[in-house]
Amino acid sequence: MSSSPSVDLQDVHDFLIDVAYRAGGMITSAKPVAAGSGMKKNSADLVTETDQAVEKMVSSSLKEKYPEFEFMGEETYKEGDKLSDAPTLKRRIKTFLKIQNLDSLTSPSLFPSHSIVDPIDGTTNFFHGHPYLCVSLGLAINQKPVLGVIYNPFTKTLYTGIKGQGAYLTDPCHNRARLPLRDPEPFRDLSHCLVAVEWGSDRDGNDFKVKTDTFAKLCASKEAGGAMVHGIRSLGSAELNMCGVAAGHLDLYWESGCWAWDVCAAWVIVEEAGGKVVGCHQGDWDPKIDQRRYMSVRAGQDQEKIVEEFWGCVQGKLEVGYDTVS
């Protein structure tokens, strides 16, 4: 297989920002009209006409700029599809590029690639007019995230990151401010933490019980055997939850059931802000991008200690993802 011309990561980064802004304009000018039945597997798993229109625009723009890439959208994802070592571009109003056999991060040789497209991260919020969703475009090399661009068009908030070059926030109050936004305090224990979680669209079965039991453990008083966290938050977007961790607004984010396109872009932003991405269960310090079980933790002394304490609160074992990891 022959390689294609080299691509500079900064060039890809700048192009993805332009695409994200264009996609954001489409979202803010659209009405959230349900596409077809308006749902996929159940009433909590929505899809709108805007998801589909933005997916088409982003995919066509990327194909024109990078014709070497092949594309696969979230709406065209088929059960059993797995990530391989072949280059992959994916996105969820995000786009995740996955590239193989690269000699360097700054001038990679691209091999045939495909994109995984999910046009809006936060579709349910969009459907209800709640302004927390994002265009998210990410790049991974050999299944390791190296570049992320995330844009919320309603709040005009842009998060960006390139491996080894830091993570940044641009919004009405910040002009490319480096993340985290303040010097991170050392972790004490979970009772001093603001934790993000999501319910997801699966509302029964083992994993739903693990989630709800874990949420209860986190919230319960110490007298009742709980962790008594400061609070629980749910933004309705995996990427924005992770960006909150990167910025230092949130201390931890624990999630299962999302996909690689839900975390790729924010993954590198978290790490470049001094945070970590680990798995949901004890000892999983090096999760795969497609394993569907993740926890991110902000920068700060004693990260590992707080992760271990959180793992001790998990009530049972999540089953999702064990048949999808490549």
DSSP string, 222-272: GGGT----SEEE--S-HHHHHHHHHHTS-SEEEEES--GGGTHHHHHHHHH
Any binding-site annotation on 118? yes
Q: Inform me whether the pLDDT recorded for 35 exceeds 90.
A: no
Taking residues 177-202, report their average pLDDT. 96
The CA dihedral of 82, 39, 159, 281, to the nearest 10 degrees, is: -50
Taking residues 97-121, report their average pLDDT. 48
Any binding-site annotation on 85? no
Q: What is the pLDDT of residue 67?
A: 77
DSSP-assigned beta bridge partners for residue 34: 48
Query: Quick one: the chain helix, strand, coil %, rounded to 5?
Result: 30, 25, 45
**Cα 278 from Cα 257, distance rounded (Å):** 15
Taking residues 99-108, report their average pLDDT. 41
**Cα 164 from Cα 170, distance rounded (Å):** 19
Q: What is the pLDDT of residue 172?
A: 96
Do 117 and 71 contact (CB within 8 A), yes or no? yes
Any binding-site annotation on 202? no
Average pLDDT of every residue of the chain? 83
Q: Inform me whether the pLDDT recorded for 108 exceeds 80.
A: no
pLDDT bracket for residue 319 (50, 70, 90)? very high
pLDDT bracket for residue 60 (50, 70, 90)? confident
User: Cα–Cα distances in Å, from 63 out to 8, 86, 102, 140, 160?
Assistant: 17, 17, 20, 17, 22
Sign, Cα dihedral of 236, 242, 248, 250: positive
Q: What is the pLDDT of residue 99?
A: 47
Residues carrying an active site annotation: 74, 118, 120-121, 123, 262
Do 253 and 246 contact (CB within 8 A), yes or no? no
Q: What is the pLDDT of residue 26?
A: 93
Taking residues 164-170, report their average pLDDT. 98
* Residues 263-306 pLDDT 10s: 999 999 999 999 999 999 999 999 998 899 999 999 999 999 99
pLDDT bracket for residue 17 (50, 70, 90)? very high
Taking residues 209-224, report their average pLDDT. 98
Instruction: State the pairing for strand pair 194-196/252-256.
Output: parallel
The burial class, CB within 10 Å (0-12 / 13-18 / 19+), for 3 is middle
Taking residues 241-260, report their average pLDDT. 96
Most confident of the following: 83-97, 102-116, 227-241: 227-241
Any binding-site annotation on 120? yes
Q: What is the pLDDT of residue 56?
A: 84
Q: What is the pLDDT of residue 94?
A: 45
Q: Inform me whether the pLDDT recorded for 226 exceeds 60.
A: yes
Any binding-site annotation on 262? yes
Q: How many other CB atoms are there within 10 angstroms of residue 49's CB atom?
A: 15
Q: What is the pLDDT of residue 70?
A: 53
Residue ranges and CATH numbers for the domains of the chain are: 9-93+109-178 (3.30.540.10), 190-313 (3.40.190.80)
Q: What is the pLDDT of residue 200?
A: 86
Q: What is the pLDDT of residue 220?
A: 98
Q: 69-73, 116-120, 185-189, 246-250: which has the minimum mean pLDDT?
A: 69-73
Taking residues 144-159, report their average pLDDT. 94
Q: Inform me whether the pLDDT recorded for 111 exceeds 90.
A: no
**Cα 252 from Cα 138, distance rounded (Å):** 21
